[in-house]
Amino acid sequence: MIRVQVPATTANMGPGFDCVGMALKLYNFVEMEAIEQGVVIDVEGDGADKIPRDKSNIVYLAAERVFKIVDRKPAGLRIKLTNNIPLARGLGSSAAATVGGLIAANMLVGSPLSEKELLNEATAIEGHPDNVAPALLGGIVVSAKEDDDIKTVKIQPPAGMKCVVAIPDFQLSTKAAREVLPQNVSMEDAVFNLSRTAILVAALMRGDFDLLSIGLDDRLHQPYRANLIPGMKKVFAAARLAGAKGVALSGAGPTLIGFCDENIGLIAKVMKDTFAANGVRCRVVELEPNPVGATALEKISL
Ligand SMILES: Nc1ncnc2c1ncn2[C@@H]1O[C@H](COP(=O)(O)OP(=O)(O)OP(=O)(O)O)[C@@H](O)[C@H]1O
Ligand SMILES: N[C@@H](CCO)C(=O)O
């Protein structure tokens, strides 16, 4: 039986749309074993009542993809999912499922695929690398697609960085949150994001939290998605006033994330209160940056 632990992720980090993401210390677990026949899928935890238990499950689909590539397949498969990452909230639940399925299936057939090959496959499944890269590699990962190959640079999260996430009680699928984005953007907005992303990466590498306020600014996706998340701009403003060094939409939302080095209790309170004042109930938690990516906890060879 293979057991893989996969972290949650916060993608985009403001301006780094589809190319920057960071792993967080919150985990899903994927267990997989070969059985004599059939497909058995059990799900516990977040989304247990919604996640399909048949061959349309994305963990199963990821595993199938590995078996097809390496042309080796167990006769039957048992999968058990234990989910702590909330579904469709912007914390990388689908990336964790995909990465967990790929890694577990690869191990089940003797690990023929390299980490790089798994990353390329995970990106092909998700459509963009910003969640799957940190879920696989840990830390903060900047990714660039070169055709089907994903180039990555990993940055260790700066010492002392803390994250407060406000997780609304409603779901927002990545698909729906991408549908509100424009097909084209102006040169001015492109340059705006280029400059902010460059500052963001420099700030993260230098551990300069004061640069985060400008380095997390974005014009490519957040302004369009604000309409889907009541109170988003007010929560951002309140968190900044309470001491957050920077704020962003986590992934495609609706979770909002504040980055700070102190005042965590006050920032959490104002984020919750401001969401509530705008009619949104939410759960606010501190999630630490995670330097480590997906990890195999047990392995028994076939
Ligand atoms: N453990 C899981 N097992 C199977 N399917 C899952 C699992 N976790 C998530 N999913 C599928 O992925 C969907 C959520 O993916 P979606 O990309 O919309 O949001 P997200 O990954 O949570 O957020 P984001 O990509 O913005 O960080 C769920 O509705 C479900 O269909
Ligand atoms: N970059 C992606 C992350 C969510 O999957 C988006 O914002 O749509």
Ligand 2 within 6 A of CB of 218: no
pTM of the full structure: 0.96
Q: What is the distance between the alpha carbons of residues 289 and 26, in angstroms, rounded to a whole number?
A: 9
pLDDT computed for residue 302 by the predictor: 44
Nearest CA owner, ligand 1 atom 6 = 94
- C-alpha 256 – ligand 2 centre gap (Å): 13
Nearest CA owner, ligand 1 atom 23 = 90
Angle between helices 115-126 and 58-70 (to 10 degrees): 130
Nearest CA owner, ligand 1 atom 26 = 90
Listed in sequence order, the residues at least 6 apart from 108 whose beta carbon sits closer than 8 Å to its beta carbon are 2, 32, 33, 34, 63, 74, 302
- Using the predicted structure, report yes or no on whether residue 125 has a pLDDT greater than 50: yes
Under the banding of pLDDT at 50, 70 and 90, the label for residue 298 is: low
pLDDT computed for residue 27 by the predictor: 98
- C-alpha 204 – ligand 1 centre gap (Å): 27
Under the banding of pLDDT at 50, 70 and 90, the label for residue 297 is: confident
Angle between helices 115-126 and 93-108 (to 10 degrees): 140
Q: What is the distance between the alpha carbons of residues 197 and 160, in angstroms, rounded to a whole number?
A: 21
- Using the predicted structure, report yes or no on whether residue 101 has a pLDDT greater than 90: yes
Query: What single-letter DSSP state applies at residue 283?
Result: E
- Using the predicted structure, report yes or no on whether residue 300 has a pLDDT greater than 70: no
Closest C-alpha among 193, 240, 274 to residue 13 = 193
- Using the predicted structure, report yes or no on whether residue 137 has a pLDDT greater than 80: yes
CA distances from 192 to 100, 169, 219, 248 (A): 35, 32, 7, 16
Give residues (CB < 6 A) around ligand 1: 11, 28, 47, 51, 57-59, 81, 83, 87-95, 97, 131, 173-174, 251-252
- CATH 3.30.70.890 residue spans of the chain: 162-287
Counting residues of the chain whose pLDDT is more than 70, the rounded percentage is 98
Closest C-alpha among 297, 302, 291 to residue 30 = 297
Task: Please state the atom number of ligand 2 nearest to the C-alpha of residue 177.
Answer: 8
Alpha helices in the chain (DSSP H): 58-70, 93-108, 115-126, 132-137, 174-179, 187-206, 212-215, 222-225, 232-241, 264-277
Which residues contribute to the annotated binding site?
Answer: 86-96
pLDDT of 201-260, one tens digit each?
999 999 999 999 999 999 999 999 999 999 999 999 999 999 999 999 999 999 999 999
pLDDT of 19-39, one tens digit each?
999 999 999 999 999 999 999
Ligand 2 within 6 A of CB of 174: yes
Do 132 and 119 meet the contact criterion of CB atoms below 8 Å apart? yes
Ligand 2 within 6 A of CB of 225: no
When the pLDDT of each residue in the chain is averaged and rounded to a whole number, the result is 97
- Using the predicted structure, report yes or no on whether residue 264 has a pLDDT greater than 60: yes
- C-alpha 90 – ligand 1 centre gap (Å): 9
pLDDT computed for residue 238 by the predictor: 98
Ligand 2 within 6 A of CB of 93: no
Architecture of domain 162-287: 2-Layer Sandwich (3.30)
- C-alpha 97 – ligand 1 centre gap (Å): 7
Nearest CA owner, ligand 1 atom 24 = 90
Q: What is the distance between the alpha carbons of residues 50 and 142, in angstroms, rounded to a whole number?
A: 32
pLDDT computed for residue 155 by the predictor: 97
Q: Does domain 2-156+290-298 fall into CATH 3.90.550.10? A: no
- CATH 3.30.230.10 residue spans of the chain: 2-156+290-298
Listed in sequence order, the residues at least 6 apart from 195 whose beta carbon sits closer than 8 Å to its beta carbon are none
Task: Please state the atom number of ligand 1 nearest to the C-alpha of residue 173.
Answer: 18
Which residues contribute to the annotated binding site for ATP?
Answer: 86-96
pLDDT of 157-206, one tens digit each?
999 999 999 999 999 999 999 999 999 999 999 999 999 999 999 999 99
